[in-house]
Amino acid sequence: MYLEVAIKTIRVIFLFLFLSLLTACASKMYMTKSDIPASYSPIDRPVVVCTLNERSFDCDRRAILAMLGEYQVAFNFYETTVLRSGYERKNPKHSGGFEVVVLVGDSGSHISMQHILVAANGMTIKHWRQDWVYELPSHWVYVGNQRFEYNYRNPSSVPGTWTQLVYEVNDGPRYAGSGRWNHRYGVSTWTSERTWRPLPRREYTKRTDYQLLNVENRHTITPQGWTHEQDNTKIVREDGEDIILVREFGFNDYRRITGFNFSPGLTYWKDTAPFWSVVRKRWDSELKKGGNIVLSFKTGDENFSDIVLSLADTYRANPSLEAHLPSLEAAFDKFVDFHAPARH
């Protein structure tokens, strides 16, 4: 018991310090602009283009798998077009960090990749996960107010598309969107439909004047890594009415580098992967039922994530799944409400 309390305390302290560093403009450990410091040289690799008569499916898979690797990441966000009277555009936000992206699973038409943050001192924290599924006919979507609903796509829009499912650090759902990969001119780019997203940490820790993001995402494979562009519209939801506040451009630049030690992230994943597999299966058992999910906490409440991350740490110290399942189930019972699909 004392070990679990100590580990949880260390995790909470580290989580606070680590995420504070991610947004600290003066920190030398993390970038405050998109330029790569001279001490970390970028790795340039030719992008493998689609060959004549090659199936689009195979080109798509190669582009998705190209996102695996070790990166220095720059996160940049700029509010652009003000759309509500009286609103004042906020200052741009710049931060960065180091991430290793590892393969969780690949069945051909379903690719899963985990992002892990690595600090310069070797500390690590599990970050977001992205799953890519080919021609997915239905999936969960975020609809606002901590609620996820099951969505059945128009059958005519499914062929040739990949759905990106993005998950939180606790492996719970965050947002999802579908789109096609485009490989023209030797450049591989995927563009999503517009989709709803909850507020990111960079926002909910600083402001409460809006509740939703409506987003179009674009991923592009580059010689030095890949980029994630975001066309964000910030939405105020009042009494069931959506009011557009401001548009925002997001640009996240993932650049392969040499000279940084990413091995702690790989070691963390090796040590905790069995535990996270159980967590994913716990979520999937409910998500695949086609019902709705409501998170029983406000946006920004990180207690659930802290508990699950702490359980991963205790598993790492004592790799017995059976010893941690009751605590994991208790956390789900407390923070997550699952609703069975409606009968027709």
In this predicted model, what pLDDT tens digit does every residue of 257-289 receive, in sequence order? 999 999 999 999 999 999 999 999 999 988 888
Quick check: 234 and 54 in contact, CB under 8 A? no
Output the pLDDT for position 28: 37
Output the pLDDT for position 286: 84
CA angle, residues 126, 144, 238, in degrees to nearest 5: 135
Output the pLDDT for position 182: 96
Output the pLDDT for position 77: 97
Encoded tokens for 199: 């507020």
Expressed as residue numbers, the domain containing 102 is: 2-339
Quick check: 220 and 189 in contact, CB under 8 A? yes
Quick check: is 261 in a domain? Answer: yes
What letter would DSSP give residue 312?
H
Encoded tokens for 301: 């409440």
Output the pLDDT for position 24: 37
Quick check: is 235 in a domain? Answer: yes
Give residue for tokens 């993390």: 30
Quick check: is 203 in a domain? Answer: yes
Output the pLDDT for position 49: 85
Quick check: is 191 in a domain? Answer: yes
Output the pLDDT for position 113: 98
Distance CA(102)–CA(116), nearest Å, equals: 8
Quick check: is 195 in a domain? Answer: yes
Quick check: is 344 in a domain? Answer: no
Give residue for tokens 């606002």: 144
Quick check: is 151 in a domain? Answer: yes
How many domains is the chain partitioned into structurally? 1
Encoded tokens for 294: 């409501």
Quick check: 15 and 125 in contact, CB under 8 A? yes
Ranges of the chain with pLDDT below 70 = 1-38, 342-344
DSSP per residue, 205-269: TT--S--EEEEEEEEEEETTEEEEEEEEEEEEEETTEEEEEEEEEEEEEEEEBSS---HHHHHHH
Quick check: 98 and 120 in contact, CB under 8 A? yes
Exposed e or buried b per residue across 100-135, where buried means at least 16 C-beta atoms within 10 angstroms of its C-beta? bbbebeeeeeebbbbbbbbbeeeebbbbbbbbbbbe
Output the pLDDT for position 238: 86
Quick check: is 14 in a domain? Answer: yes
Q: Read off the pLDDT of residues 40-94 as tens digits, 9 standing for 90 and up.
A: 889 999 888 898 889 999 999 999 999 999 999 999 999 999 999 999 999 999 9
Output the pLDDT for position 5: 47
